[in-house]
Structure 1
């Protein structure tokens, strides 16, 4: 035995995960913060121009989620900004002691909250998953 590492065979999910690089962690953190910024901007836009602003806010969120998934090449690229979006929206829904709030009790606010969460789930599902490397893992080859 010369200490060579044996080739891994078997199902992809049974193989150990690799440690993420520092660049990948930084990209996920940046996408998390960008998701929070998009949530704040969407909260302001959706109530300003009701039907168009709501669609613009949801389209911006969907673009960020799907773009993050494509940029990182994994579902983590969609989950990171979606997490930032959800955290920011939940913080923005809380009223302050003075009675101020950002979201009103209208249909637009509820559509933004529920629609944004649905868009996050859809984009995380559509994001590319882990794929095995090599040509021998495809059927028919």
Structure 2
């Protein structure tokens, strides 16, 4: 390392741009749409609907993470998915609810959370612009 140039790790973190914040909000809304659609599809064609709903969430989260090159993008899409699914699990005063008490619903809920965590973990992390070498030199 050169002595006159500060390390990339020592530089302050810049706030995200307006375009990046807009992208995160769009991914949040898209995650909510995918969660609501998955909640409707998963009981219809069991087990194919369940696999289709989980694959849609995985595609959204992993695609968002790779597109924006950050874990926050995957977390934003997963947050929208979780909000939609949680709002759909609450029962109404009339007694109506969307999720039945079956194994498919539990697999959708727990599997979707697992898919979100896996996709956020697999997301690339931004590296300093010093080169392709690993950080722990």
Q: Determine if the TM-score, normalized by the shorter chain, exceeds 0.5.
A: yes
Offset of 1:91 from its aligned partner?
0.6
> Partner of 1:123 in structure 2?
119
TM norm structure 2: 0.90
| SS at structure 1 position matched to 2:73 | helix
Unaligned runs of 5+ in 1: 1-5
CA distance in 1, matches of 2:5, 2:15: 18
Q: Does 1:48 find its partner at 2:51?
A: no
Figure out how many residues of one structure are paired with residues of the other and give that number: 133
CA distance in 2, matches of 1:115, 1:135: 37
Matches within 5 A, 1:78-117: 78-117=74-113
> Partner of 1:22 in structure 2?
18
TM norm structure 1: 0.88
Higher gyration radius (CA): 1
CA RMSD in angstroms comes to 1.8
> Partner of 2:128 in structure 1?
132
| SS at structure 2 position matched to 1:131 | coil
Unaligned runs of 5+ in 2: none
| SS at structure 1 position matched to 2:47 | helix
CA distance in 2, matches of 1:25, 1:89: 23
CA distance in 2, matches of 1:114, 1:88: 14
Offset of 1:137 from its aligned partner?
5.1
